[in-house]
Amino acid sequence: MAHVLALTGSPSPTSRTNALVRHVGSRLSATGHTVDHLDVRDLPPVALLAADASHPAIAAALAAVAEADAVVIGTPVYKAAYSGLLKTLLDLLPQSALAGKTVLPLATGGTPAHVLAIDYGLRPVLTSLGTDSVLRGWFVTDRELSLDADGGLTLGREAAEGVEAAVERLTTALAARDALAPRDAPTAHAARGRHDARGPGDARVSVAA
**Structural domain boundaries of the chain?**
3-207
Confidence of residue 187 (pLDDT cuts 50, 70, 90): low
The more confident residue out of 65 and 185 is 65
Domain spanning 3-207, CATH architecture: 3-Layer(aba) Sandwich (3.40)
Query: For position 37, what pLDDT does the model report?
Result: 96
DSSP β-ladder status, 153-155 and 145-147: antiparallel
CA distances from 204 to 27, 125, 126, 190 (A): 11, 31, 29, 29
Strand 205-207's sheet: what is its strand order? 145-147, 153-155, 205-207
pLDDT for the residue 189? 52
| Contacts (Cβ under 8 Å, ≥6 apart) of 147 | 14, 16, 19, 153, 154, 203
Q: What is the pTM of this model?
A: 0.85
pLDDT at 182: 66
Spatial separation of the C-alpha atoms in residues 18 and 13, rounded to whole Å: 9
Confidence of residue 153 (pLDDT cuts 50, 70, 90): confident
